[in-house]
């Protein structure tokens, strides 16, 4: 395995952008906006399952933030690197395997997802919200980052333009963010939509981050996230392996 | 196996466009081989296939006896690629760009190698500067240095001096000539006549995906004759090929307009073969 240089390059670029103050703010702008508008505004009037809305919302925002940050970075960087800057071609012409390229990219995407998650958790704690931390919580968060970073690789390989990436985001990522139990329980949805939503990965991450208990249903959710991870990883590797101009 | 690169009936088709048609070449080690042709001739497609970036639609290509399609990893260990577009990481420093490339090639003792290359390319004072702050010429030099980090046996230079001013172009030519002294095989694509004539041991002329001539620049030129009498008649430039200087003078005296007498070059070879100019 020789994934480290690919991972390290992404981290160097991430670190350089991180030093620009505006970057951190823009990356966390929407979750902060949701937190302030829904968590603090709406939260005073609404309760879900007997608890405060802020406590309900925080794990959902964590799932959504880790998803968008893991996905966006990789999908954008791969699309632009492949089509515009042509830095991706350097990997293809170097003695590294498709697996090395995909693993390096995914790990870098996960780092970004985790970074955003840590900031959101800190923000939540400041606002008085809480999480149920345990091993399952951490595993679910990591798996969520992995699934969507791998999906980011697929989108990065598939996009024919920067607009294509936005289309994938609008059709897959944004609806998941809104309907997979981030802001309100999935059971509130009509039956057909509910059945579709229940097989989407973010629904299961949301559930695991809210109720991270070691029971059979949660193990099923964990299994499904692992299956999504393996599927996206495999598709991503095949796409990179078949790359030809 | 004496040849460093062998292609046999190599071809590439994109939908209904044949970008490369039946290219057969043998390139010995240590040669600077030039692929000359206008834009869209198939030069970059050839480089892409030989560097594993594009799959051939038919035919075979081997580098040091490794098949580019079936043994890509072995091929990639042998080659260094300097593409037409500057695909350095602009947000990283020169040192970081070279370091990452070296690690992709599993290089050890990279620090010393990078310092050696930066000295060679006269960039040692800018190791820690961001590439985005480099001039076009410096970025081109760094691009060539990056391709050399892994001590490749074959170096691909795709239009290495395109868009550079004449002075920087000459600096890069000196750099390429120094590389040749080290025994590296170089495949260079260009549409600059002077570049091909100055640097290449042999030249293959491509037009519309087909190899239409292959020889040393001197031999290609010699086949046409010694001199060209250029005239401008009614806004149209006309070329008359003649054997020697005396014949050129006597032809020139017969022309009513101003004439230019010059030695035959590779552009004349291209015009003779295709009826078109090589450069716009």
pLDDT digits (tens, 9 = 90+) for A126-181: 877 778 888 999 999 999 999 999 999 999 999 998 889 999 999 999 998 888 88
Integer-rounded Cα radius of gyration of chain A: 18
Indicate yes or no: CB of A13 within 8 angstroms of CB of B105: no
Residues of chain B in contact with residue A16, where contact means CB-CB under 8 angstroms, are 91-92
User: At B22, which helix (H) or strand (E)?
Assistant: strand B17-27
B91: contact with A, CB 8 A cutoff: yes
Q: How many domains does chain A have?
A: 1
Cα–Cα distance for residue pair B175/B87, rounded to 1 Å: 20
Q: At what angle do helices A4-18 and B94-104 cross, to 10 degrees?
A: 160
Quickly state the pLDDT bin for B1 (edges 50, 70, 90): low
More confident residue, B179 or B203: B203
Quickly state the pLDDT bin for A205 (edges 50, 70, 90): very high
Q: Token match 């080690």: residue?
A: B29
- Per DSSP (E only), the strands in A8-158 are 47-48, 51-52
Residues of chain A in contact with residue B101, where contact means CB-CB under 8 angstroms, are 90, 94
Indicate yes or no: CB of B77 within 8 angstroms of CB of A95: yes
Distances (CA, A) of A158 to A71, A171, A235, A236, B254: 14, 14, 11, 10, 64
For residue B44, the distance in angstroms to the closest alpha carbon of chain A comes to 11
Indicate yes or no: CB of A86 within 8 angstroms of CB of B53: no
How many Cα atoms occupy the beta-carbon half-sphere of A180 within 13 Å? 26
Structure tokens at A66: 């880790």
State the residue range of the domain holding A129: 4-241
Q: Which of B53, B87, B90 is opposite residue A245, by nearest beta carbon?
A: B53
pLDDT digit string (tens) for B17-47? 999 999 999 999 999 999 998 888 899 999 9
**Per mean pLDDT, which range of A34-38, A177-181, B199-203 is the poorest?**
A34-38
Q: Which of B53, B89, B106 is opposite residue A89, by nearest beta carbon?
A: B53
Q: Which of B76, B88, B100 is opposite residue A5, by nearest beta carbon?
A: B100
List helix spans (H) across chain B: 43-50, 72-78, 94-104, 110-120, 136-148, 166-181, 193-199, 217-224, 245-254, 266-274
Contacts of A237 (CB under 8 A, 6+ apart): A98, A99, A102
Cα–Cα distance for residue pair A223/A168, rounded to 1 Å: 25
Q: Token match 């009826």: residue?
A: B275
Taking the alpha carbons at both ends of chain B, their separation in whole angstroms is 40
* b/e code B200-228 from CB counts within 10 Å (16+ = b): bebbbbbbbbebebbeebeebbeebbebb
Is 80 exceeded by the pLDDT of residue B163? no
Query: How many C-beta neighbours within 10 Å does residue A24 have?
Result: 15
Query: Which among A69, A71, A56, A72 has a CA at the least distance from the CA of A206?
Result: A56
Domains of chain B: which residue ranges? 5-216, 220-274
Q: Which of A8, A96, A244 is opposite residue B55, by nearest beta carbon?
A: A244
A96: contact with B, CB 8 A cutoff: yes
Chain A with chain B: Cβ pairs closer than 8 A: 65
Contacts of A234 (CB under 8 A, 6+ apart): none
Distances (CA, A) of B121 to A16, A211, B22: 26, 59, 37
A47: contact with B, CB 8 A cutoff: no
Distances (CA, A) of B241 to B30, B137, B251, B261: 34, 37, 10, 10
User: At A176, which helix (H) or strand (E)?
Assistant: helix A174-179
Cα–Cα distance for residue pair A215/A219, rounded to 1 Å: 6
Query: Which among A232, A236, A212 has a CA at the least distance from the CA of A222?
Result: A212
Indicate yes or no: CB of A85 within 8 angstroms of CB of B90: yes
Cα–Cα distance for residue pair A88/A83, rounded to 1 Å: 9
Sheet holding B236-242, edge to edge: B236-242, B227-233, B259-263
Contacts of B105 (CB under 8 A, 6+ apart): A94, A95, B77, B149, B150
Q: Collapsing DSSP states into helix, strand and coil, what is residue B14?
A: strand
pLDDT digit string (tens) for B259-280? 888 888 888 888 888 777 666 4
The answer to whether the CB of A113 falls within 8 A of the CB of A151 is no
Cα–Cα distance for residue pair A110/A70, rounded to 1 Å: 5
Quickly state the pLDDT bin for A195 (edges 50, 70, 90): confident
B133: contact with A, CB 8 A cutoff: no
The answer to whether the CB of B38 falls within 8 A of the CB of B192 is no
Indicate yes or no: CB of A12 within 8 angstroms of CB of B79: no
B87: contact with A, CB 8 A cutoff: yes
Q: Which residues pair with B259 in a beta bridge?
A: B231
pLDDT digit string (tens) for A59-101? 999 999 999 999 998 999 999 999 999 999 999 999 999 999 9
Q: Which residues pair with A47 in a beta bridge?
A: A52
Searching chain A, which residue's CA lies closest to the CA of residue B103? A5
Q: What one-character DSSP code corresponds to residue B125? A: G
Domain B5-216 classified CATH 3.40.50.720? Answer: no
Q: Collapsing DSSP states into helix, strand and coil, what is residue B187?
A: strand
What is the separation of C-alpha A100 from the centre of its chain, rounded to a whole number of angstroms? 21
């Amino acid at each position: 395995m020789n994934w480290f240089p690919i991972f390290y390059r992404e981290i160097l670029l991430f670190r350089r952008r991180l030093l620009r103050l505006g970057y951190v703010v823009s990356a966390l702008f929407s979750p902060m906006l949701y937190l302030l508008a829904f968590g603090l505004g709406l939260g005073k009037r609404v309760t879900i399952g007997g608890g405060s809305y802020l406590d309900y919302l925080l794990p959902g925002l964590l799932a959504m933030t880790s998803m968008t940050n893991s996905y966006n970075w990789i999908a954008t960087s791969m699309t632009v690197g492949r089509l515009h800057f042509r830095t991706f071609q350097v990997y293809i012409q170097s003695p590294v395997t498709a697996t090395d390229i995909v693993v390096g990219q995914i790990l870098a995407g996960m780092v970004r997802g985790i970074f955003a998650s840590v900031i959101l958790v800190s923000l939540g704690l400041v606002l008085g919200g809480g999480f149920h931390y345990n091993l399952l919580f951490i595993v679910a968060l990591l798996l969520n980052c992995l699934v969507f970073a791998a999906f980011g690789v697929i989108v990065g390989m598939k996009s024919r333009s920067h607009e294509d990436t936005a289309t994938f985001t609008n059709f897959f990522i944004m609806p998941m963010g809104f309907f997979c139990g981030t802001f309100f329980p999935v059971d509130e949805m009509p039956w057909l939509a509910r059945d579709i939503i229940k097989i989407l990965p973010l629904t299961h991450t949301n559930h695991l981050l809210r109720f991270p208990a070691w029971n059979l249903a949660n193990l099923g959710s964990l299994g499904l996230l692992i299956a999504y991870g393996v599927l996206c990883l495999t598709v991503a590797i095949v796409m990179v392996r078949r790359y030809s101009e | 196996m004496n040849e460093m690169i062998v292609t046999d009936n190599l071809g590439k088709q994109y939908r209904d466009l044949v970008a490369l048609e039946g290219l057969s070449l043998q390139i010995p080690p240590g040669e600077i081989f030039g692929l000359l042709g206008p834009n869209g001739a198939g030069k970059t497609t050839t480089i892409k296939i030989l560097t594993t970036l594009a799959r051939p639609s038919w035919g075979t290509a081997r580098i040091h006896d490794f098949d580019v399609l079936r043994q890509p990893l072995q091929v990639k260990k042998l080659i260094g690629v300097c593409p037409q577009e500057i695909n350095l990481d602009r947000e990283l420093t020169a040192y970081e760009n070279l370091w990452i490339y070296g690690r992709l090639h599993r290089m050890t003792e990279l620090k010393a190698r990078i310092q050696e290359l930066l000295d060679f390319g006269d960039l040692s004072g800018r190791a820690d500067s961001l590439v985005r702050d480099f001039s076009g010429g410096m970025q081109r030099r760094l691009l060539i240095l990056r391709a050399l980090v892994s001590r490749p046996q074959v170096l691909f230079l795709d239009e290495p001096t395109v868009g550079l001013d004449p002075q920087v172009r000459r600096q890069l030519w000196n750099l390429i000539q120094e590389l040749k002294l080290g025994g590296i095989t170089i495949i260079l694509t260009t549409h600059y006549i002077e570049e091909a004539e100055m640097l290449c041991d042999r030249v293959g002329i491509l037009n519309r995906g087909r190899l239409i001539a292959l020889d040393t620049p001197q031999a290609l030129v010699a086949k046409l004759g010694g001199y060209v009498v250029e005239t401008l008649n009614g806004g149209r430039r006309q070329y008359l090929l003649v054997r020697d200087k005396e014949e050129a003078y006597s032809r020139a005296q017969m022309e009513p307009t101003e004439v230019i007498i010059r030695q035959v070059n590779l552009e004349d070879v291209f015009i003779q073969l295709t009826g078109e100019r090589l450069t716009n």
